[in-house]
Structure 1
Amino acid sequence: MLPEKYIMMRHDIDRNPSKAVETAKIEQEFDIKATYYFRTVNDNLFCPEIITEISDMGHEVGYHYEVLNECNGNHEDAVKLFKRNLKKFEDLCDVKTVCMHGQPLSKYDNRDIWKKYDYKDFGILGEAYLSVDESINYLCDTGRSWNFDHCLRDFIPNKTENIRIHSTDDLIGLVERGDVNNFYLLTHPERWSSNSFEWLFFYSKDIAVNMGKKFLRMARTW
């Protein structure tokens, strides 16, 4: 049973797993437990040493799956790939939840695999988008905006209303004032660099991706 007031912290490690370690250490210092989802598409993103280190800190680690995209929409191949990749995580830590990777420029929504299969059959307790109540106040930094302006897939299905804020300072104020009792926060650690070069690199990359999302959204309305 959840307390009256709570914050669920989730981090999607889309790029640069080393930034996840930095974030995990800061959270550990403040006795914060969060969930980290790692991808498996290449060896630069699936890092057993980093996954083990973050798990040993007491954080939850899960699989950031994108198997429908990897298998070009073939559900049968996708579920086999999901099972193989999940085993990689289970060899390192206790996996309780999974989370789809959005792949906004892909035509496949990776969540759709669960329209044909059931993740619980793999011993998974929940999926980060599909297993939460619609009443929760979900906020994400996707596209460097808390307002969902650049979200094509980072949303809770069937949730029609979201808090809209303009800045991280607004979010901090919202938490401090206690205006809202329950938060579900998603961040991508690579966006929160204190290194000017890294910040500028990922800022530029996000701007380019946001432009692609804008054109894709327009194309879908034509």
Structure 2
Amino acid sequence: MQFDFTLDIYKKILLCFKTKGYEFQTFSEYLTKPKEKVILLRNDVDRMPENALILASIQKSFEIMGSYYFRTVETSMNEDIIKEIAGMGHEIGYHYENLDTVAKGFRSVKNKNHLLDMGILDFQTQLKRLRELAPIETICMHGSPISKFNNKDLWKKFDYTDFGIIGESYIDIDFNEVLYLTDTGRRWDGFNVSVRDKINGQQMIWEKNGMVFKTSFDIINAIDNDLLPSKIMMTFHPQRWNQLNSIWCKELILQNIKNPVKKLLIHFRDLNWLIA
């Protein structure tokens, strides 16, 4: 019996894509010179950076490059690991959460304009920290599911290109032509239990075309049968991918607890919107 979200299954996904002639690009490479049949490997390092190093090493052994987005919190930002992953040739990006971070310093936020001003200052500070370790050209919003603030709102007032950033992974991809697959919720159809890691309207378009997969085995089967489009962004959360051991079991249990909670959050936020 095979179990999902193991390193063996991770390797199999990558090898299946290679066998079918897909090329791999980092997000920054795709923005400047996109290939026609391509996989964008996005790795959101929310925690357990040592797992990110394992995935980066696997990709390197397959001559594949990916993009690794690190938060600037203790659970994610390991300077030695960031340098090592960058040294392999992978892209390092900033997994920003500045509105959520600065909001924690207030009992209540009545002036959102002030929050945005504080957020951009924090963005500059944290971006500078990461750039001391590796070049940073692209960014990716961290969802912060329990926060009432969407970190992406920072760009309603400011422009990330003013800080030498060429792209934001939720904003600068045409998801009408690029299929978005994410392992959020420890499943590949987790957009139903995701507060922010989803593409909304575009997701429904892909659903109508049958591009919804629950397990990695479903994806592998779709690859083998040439059912997938030519351009795909796949988001991996490295903490979810482990050998079949106690860490794998812990991640499975924790995610099965978290998913119903996140579904309730989505329900109550939708209800508040309807009431408002």
TM-score range, shorter chain: over 0.9
Query: Where in structure 1 do 4 or more consecutive aligned residues deviate above 4 Å?
Result: none
- Classify the secondary structure of the residue corresponding to 2:165: coil
User: Could you tell me how far apart the structure 1 residues matched to 2:145 and 2:264 are?
Assistant: 12
Pairing 1:52-201 to 2, within 5 Å after superposition:
52-72=83-103, 74-135=115-176, 136-147=178-189, 148-156=191-199, 158-159=201-202, 160-162=204-206, 163-179=211-227, 180-201=229-250
- Classify the secondary structure of the residue corresponding to 1:63: strand
Q: Work out whether residues 105 and 212 of structure 1, in 8 Å CA contact, stay in contact via their aligned partners in 2.
A: no
- Classify the secondary structure of the residue corresponding to 2:144: coil
Rg comparison, structure with higher value: 2
Unaligned runs of at least 5 residues, structure 2: 1-32, 104-111, 272-276
| RMSD, aligned α-carbons | 1.4
Q: Work out whether residues 129 and 157 of structure 1, in 8 Å CA contact, stay in contact via their aligned partners in 2.
A: no
Unaligned runs of at least 5 residues, structure 1: none
Residue 83 of structure 2 is aligned to residue 39 of structure 1: no
Q: Work out whether residues 195 and 265 of structure 2, in 8 Å CA contact, stay in contact via their aligned partners in 1.
A: no
User: Could you tell me how far apart the structure 2 residues matched to 1:20 and 1:169 are?
Assistant: 22
Paired amino acid for 1:86: L
Paired amino acid for 1:175: I
Q: What are the Cα deviations for residues 190-212 of structure 1, in whole angstroms up to 9, with x where unaligned? A: 10111421011112221222121
Shift of 1:154: 0.6
- Classify the secondary structure of the residue corresponding to 1:204: helix
- Classify the secondary structure of the residue corresponding to 1:53: helix
Q: What are the Cα deviations for residues 115-141 of structure 1, in whole angstroms up to 9, with x where unaligned? A: 110100000000011110122100000
Shift of 1:90: 1.0
Task: Name whichever of 124-133 and 44-53 sits farther off.
Answer: 44-53
User: Could you tell me how far apart the structure 2 residues matched to 1:60 and 1:176 are?
Assistant: 28
Structure 1 counterpart of 2:260: 211
User: Could you tell me how far apart the structure 2 residues matched to 1:41 and 1:22 are?
Assistant: 20
Distance 1:221 1:158, change over 3 A: closer
Which of 11, 18, 22 pairs up with 2:54?
A: 22
TM-score in terms of structure 2 length: 0.77
State, as a whole percentage, how many aligned pairs show the same letter. Answer: 38
TM-score in terms of structure 1 length: 0.94
User: Could you tell me how far apart the structure 2 residues matched to 1:138 and 1:12 are?
Assistant: 14
Q: Work out whether residues 130 and 156 of structure 1, in 8 Å CA contact, stay in contact via their aligned partners in 2.
A: no
User: Could you tell me how far apart the structure 2 residues matched to 1:41 and 1:25 are?
Assistant: 23
Larger relative contact order (CA 8 Å, sep ≥ 6): 2
User: Could you tell me how far apart the structure 1 residues matched to 2:42 and 2:117 are?
Assistant: 29
- Classify the secondary structure of the residue corresponding to 1:161: helix
Shift of 1:178: 2.7
Shift of 1:53: 0.1
Paired amino acid for 1:154: D
Q: Work out whether residues 89 and 95 of structure 1, in 8 Å CA contact, stay in contact via their aligned partners in 2.
A: yes
Task: Name whichever of 195-204 and 136-145 sits farther off.
Answer: 195-204
Shift of 1:176: 3.0
Distance 1:221 1:78, change over 3 A: closer
Paired amino acid for 2:198: F
